[in-house]
Amino acid sequence: MGAPVISLTDVWLFRNGEPVLQNVNLSIQKGDFTALIGPNGGGKTTLIRLMVGLIRPDEGRVRVLGKPPRSVATRLGYVPQNAGVNERFPISVLDVVLMGRLKTFRRWPRHSREDKAAARKALEAMEMWEFRNRHVGELSGGQQQRVMIARALATEPEILFLDEPTASVDTKHQSEFYEILKDLNRAVTIVIVCHELMMINAYVKSVACVNRCVHYHGDAEVTQEMIDMYQCPVELVAHGLPHRVLKEHNGDKMASS
The predicted model scores a pTM of 0.82
Query: Looking at this protein, which amino acid is placed at residue 122?
Result: A
Q: Which of 47, 38, 46, 44 is nearest to 8 (CA)?
A: 47
Q: What is the CA radius of gyration of the chain?
A: 19
Judging by beta carbons within 10 Å of its beta carbon (0-12, 13-18, 19+), is residue 153 exposed, middle or buried?
A: buried
Please name the CATH architecture into which domain 6-243 falls: 3-Layer(aba) Sandwich (3.40)
The residues, any chain, with a CB within 8 Å of residue 159's CB and separated by 6 or more, are 5, 6, 64, 65, 75, 76, 77, 188, 189, 190, 191
Q: Which of 103, 105, 99 is nearest to 85 (CA)?
A: 99
The whole-angstrom separation of Cα 198 and Cα 16 is 37
Q: What string of pLDDT tens digits covers the 257 residues of the chain?
A: 678 999 999 999 999 999 999 999 999 999 999 999 888 889 999 999 999 999 999 999 999 999 999 999 999 999 988 666 666 777 899 999 998 887 644 555 677 889 999 999 999 999 999 999 999 888 888 888 889 999 999 999 999 999 988 776 766 678 888 888 999 999 999 999 987 766 777 888 998 889 899 988 877 666 666 555 555 555 533 333 333 333 333 433 333 22
The whole-angstrom separation of Cα 51 and Cα 107 is 30
Which pLDDT value is given to residue 36?
92
For 105-117, give one letter per residue: b (16+ CB within 10 A) or e.
eeeeeebeeebee
The whole-angstrom separation of Cα 156 and Cα 76 is 8
